[in-house]
Structure 1
Amino acid sequence: MANLDESRGGGDPDSGTAFAIGFAVALAKPVWAYRSSEATLAQRVESSGDRVRRRLLCGRLSN
């Protein structure tokens, strides 16, 4: 069971989770995933854009 909610902004899931999903699929293991939001990736990226821009302007990408 994989949580695909965004981890650090930008709308995308945690990279480790994404890797684990790919690894499990490569091993022909069943994978279940969920998100707490029904928004599309494009909508999530658009809504998080201001936070990411502020972090870039401040010279940091972490929270």
Structure 2
Amino acid sequence: MGGGHSENFSASITTMQAVIWIVTFLAMLALTIFIRYSRMGRACRACAEDLKMASLLALTPTG
């Protein structure tokens, strides 16, 4: 890895740069899915939105 080189549309992208972009995209996608659909992610969003109401509903960011 890292030795490849591709030129498209007069832009130069190495293999390592492409791998970094792909890994970054996948990590952001996984984080978005976790925050949106997991119990802990929903609790964190609820606390960020309204901490007092979240505590009344017994939601905590730790689950």
Interval containing the TM-score (normalised by the shorter chain): under 0.3
Between Structure 1 and Structure 2, the one with more strand by share is 2
Query: Could you state the TM-score of these two structures normalised by the residue count of structure 2?
Result: 0.27
Higher relative contact order (CA 8 A, sep 6+): 1
Query: Could you state the TM-score of these two structures normalised by the residue count of structure 1?
Result: 0.27
Between Structure 1 and Structure 2, the one with more helix by share is 2
Task: Please tell me whether Structure 1 or Structure 2 has the larger radius of gyration of its CA atoms.
Answer: 2
